[in-house]
A and B are shown apart, each in its own frame.
Chain A
Amino acid sequence: MPKVTVNDLKLIRERTLPTLCLASCKEGAKITMHMGTCGVAAGAVPVMEALKDELSIAGRDDIRVVVSACGGMCSSEPNVTVELQGQAPVVYQHMDASRMRQVFRRHVLRGEVQTAFALMRQAAFGSQGGGK
């Protein structure tokens, strides 16, 4: 790997930023698994296994799964964030394997936000505060 220059950094940013933002991707859905220590301790691993199982049953190749870290509210872990193309990302709380299956089948596949498990809705990626 050659050393990157400042210009390369800009190219990487230009190349990667759209992939973080679902609106500029071809995928239909992005599922973020919050797997920091607090999430894992609260049971995120079986949630991940249930998701993998559902994904293989659904056989969809346009759903992206991202592993990230703690979303900040540890008492609501395990958290899973579901973003559908053109819709605000929804953060789910207190997830377990069964809830994951329901969120996957009803929200990811059918577009019904499962308000009973939802913690909050986020603004679209990158538009929230912080930094510049």
Chain B
Amino acid sequence: MSAHRKTVTVCSCPGCTQRGAAAVREALEHAVVTHELGGQVEVLAGDCGGLCGIGPVIQVPGEGVIYQGLKAQDAAKIVKEHLAGGAPIERLRYAGPGAPESVPLESEHPFTKDQLFWVMRNKGLIDPEQIDEYIARDGYFGLAKALTGMTPERIVEEVLASGLRGRGGAGFPTGMKWKFAAGSQSDVKYVLCNADEGDPGAFMDRSVLEADPHSVIEGMIIAARAIGAREGYIYCRTEYPLAIHRLNVAIAAARDYGLLGTDILGTGFDFDLEIYEGAGAFVCGEETALMASIEGRRGMPRPRPPFPAHQGLWKKPSILNNVETLANIAQIILNGGAWYAALGTEKSKGTKVFALSGKVKNIGLVEVPMGTSLRSIVYDIGGGVPNKKKFKAVQLGGPSGGCVPEAHLDTVVDYEEIAKVGAIMGSGGMIVMDETTCMVDMARYFMDFIQDESCGKCTPCREGTRRMLEILQAICAGKGELEDIEKLEALSEVIRESSLCGLGQTGPNPVLSTLRYFRDEYEAHIREKRCPAKRCTALLEFRVDAALCKKCGLCFKACPSKAIAWERKQPAVIDTAKCVKCMSCFEVCPASSIF
């Protein structure tokens, strides 16, 4: 029997060690000595009982007390108040596991309760590299139904009846596209999948391909049957290595089962596909540029007509559908077009997947029925804007889209309704912006993207977007002039009217929509040389409001260029000559006294 009155154990498992158990033990031993408890308290190595997630853990086994998440400085307090004083420190104690019932159910959780998983029905539930698991979830039964019980015409009718529209953004009825291609006479036709997801802030297609690659493959085989194609390509960007890997595994497994290849399911129908890795040019998401890229040429759009449904890849009739569009097909065939059309608004049916990101609490993939309001997505599902900041706008459709301000947040998810407020449905990128986002700066960012990604074929797009960028850069730098706004509008009009493809036709949209809703911000930049959101650093002169300053010195510590003078109990002062306008002080100030 030990002569010591009390034993304290410090866990030495890998988890607790990683979180700093050794330093806690050292501090504990030191405190025991300084409190002259050497003869009474013994510090031993012990075990955390698996509580290392909030390690390091120490225990006083004799009393059943467990402390967790300790820092070295907590040790002295524990020795003084608990081991010497006899009163355990409740704040640091492990409270025991909570009741499992306190964890919200998926059907009650704010993020998931209003979502409806059709396209994402298998997300996170199956191993995407196991074809059997996909089949277990009714995978390839849509294909079986289409091949054994339906004529190609019937398949097209079912997709038409579903009201499914292209999820890549333009919203062209999928069934119509298929009907045109089915009606084209040719011995060779192609089915193409557009997985060239390039909008900043969009990651829907990547997630679908990673979580459920077979759903896209199944959709492509059904499409091939509908239009009479025997070959297909998935055009996926090289930047998606995991998606490409899982697609390759899926294609190999489908070939193994004869779901790709000749005589599929013993029905005599042949179809096979391969992946074409695109190098990531934004314009290659445009259908004719995508086809040029597969043909080995430079990715540049060409005039239409002829439309791809008549002359597409290698001048053969082709259809190009987006990943999400194709992922809907098997469900439509399996459950019927009427089932699909029962959900949604008058002209937009089914569900839509959005990639919700930006200044919002819950970031992720959101699948909602058409007709859900943007407000519900941002506030109910997204949980609203964090850090007590005010909502400013949500950008839909990336660089081709527009922003929707607070006043129009009750707009519902519907191709026409969203277009009415100056944005587009787009492929599903949804970026939430708060009051700290400068709308001129945002427009500048997207214009920089567009002028970078313009293929250069059409002069208005190639040169015009460059000039627009220069004007926006000048405005952000405080060199804007009053006529700049008119110049931007005039250039936008010309670029929209005279560009061949969607990139140029929609490129000015971010500028036009920010001018529509946030013209005052442009005017503040130009007339008053002021950035209301305090983002355009050229327009900011940082100084400290001595009345608000808490004299805490955080700005002094954060400043990388030693431009801030501060002493204890004195307000900070910024030397504007040394200030590099990095915003470090602005961001750390707890009292918002710097501007």
Contacts and interface: CB of A to CB of B under 8 A. Distances in A.
Interface of A: 1-6, 9, 12-13, 15-17, 19-20, 32, 34, 36-38, 40, 50, 53, 66-76, 79, 81, 87-88, 90-91, 96-106, 109-110, 112-123, 125-126, 128-132
Contacts of B97: 106, 112-115
Contacts of B103: 90, 113, 115, 118-121
Contacts of B18: 97-98
B95 to A, nearest CB: 9
B203 A34 contact: no
Interface string B108-130: 01011001111011011111110
A10 B305 CA distance: 45
Contacts of A40: 242
Contacts of B144: 6, 9
Contact of A73 (B100, B331, B362): B362
Contacts of B366: 72
B256 to A, nearest CB: 5
B490 interface: no
Contact of B136 (A20, A36, A74, A114): A20
Contact of B138 (A13, A117, A122, A128): A13
A4 B265 contact: yes
Interface in B335-383: 335, 357, 361-366
A2 B261 CA distance: 12
B121 A125 contact: no
Given A5-B266, A16-B135, A72-B120, A36 B106 contact: no
A97 B15 contact: yes
A17 B132 CA distance: 9
A109 to B, nearest CB: 7
B141 interface: yes
A3 B124 contact: no
A3 B140 contact: no
Contacts of B141: 9, 13
A67 B133 CA distance: 12
Query: Is the contact region of chain B dominated by helix, strand, or loop, or is it mixed?
Result: loop
B96 to A, nearest CB: 8
Contacts of A106: 49-51, 97
A74 B126 contact: no
B197 to A, nearest CB: 12
B14 interface: yes
Contacts of A98: 15-16, 18-19, 52-55
B55 A69 contact: no
Given A6-B148, A12-B136, 19 more contacts: A1-B256, A1-B257, A9-B140, A16-B133, A20-B126, A36-B211, A37-B210, A37-B242, A69-B123, A69-B212, A70-B123, A70-B207, A88-B105, A105-B49, A105-B51, A116-B98, A120-B105, A128-B106, A129-B116
B137 interface: yes
Contacts of A72: 111-112, 115, 120, 123-124, 207, 364-366
B328 to A, nearest CB: 11
Contacts of B117: 128-130
Q: Which of A40, A70, A72 has the most CB of B within 10 A?
A: A72
A36 B129 CA distance: 12
Contacts of B50: 101-102, 104-106, 109-110
Given A70-B210, A130-B116, A3 B19 contact: no
A66 B124 CA distance: 10
A52 B366 CA distance: 31
B259 interface: yes
Interface footprint category on B: 35 or more
B141 to A, nearest CB: 7
Given A69-B128, A131-B118, A120 B104 contact: yes
A15 B127 CA distance: 16
B362 A115 contact: no
Nearest to B383: A75
B106 A81 contact: no
B132 A99 contact: no
Q: Which of A98, A100, A114, A121 has the most CB of B within 10 A?
A: A98
Q: Which of B13, B52, B263, B334 has the most CB of A within 10 A?
A: B52
B1 interface: no
B53 A117 contact: yes
Nearest to B118: A130
B136 A13 contact: yes
Contacts of B210: 36-37, 69-70
Contacts of A3: 257-258, 261, 263-266
B57 to A, nearest CB: 9
A17 B140 contact: no
B242 A131 contact: no
A13 B16 CA distance: 44
A71 B127 CA distance: 12
B121 A6 contact: no
Contacts of B13: 101
Contact of B53 (A9, A76, A102): A102
9 contacts: A5-B265, A9-B141, A34-B124, A37-B240, A38-B207, A69-B128, A102-B54, A115-B102, A130-B116
A79 B258 CA distance: 35
Given A75-B364, A98-B18, A120-B106, A115 B53 contact: no
A4 B137 contact: no
A68 B126 contact: yes
A61 to B, nearest CB: 19
B127 A115 contact: no
B2 interface: no
Given A12-B135, A118-B103, A128-B106, A73 B207 contact: no
A15 B132 contact: yes
Interface string B193-207: 000000000010011
Given A9-B141, A109-B50, A20 B133 contact: yes
B130 to A, nearest CB: 8
B387 interface: no
B124 A32 contact: yes
A131 B207 contact: no
B142 to A, nearest CB: 10
Given A20-B133, A36-B207, A101-B52, A125 B105 contact: no
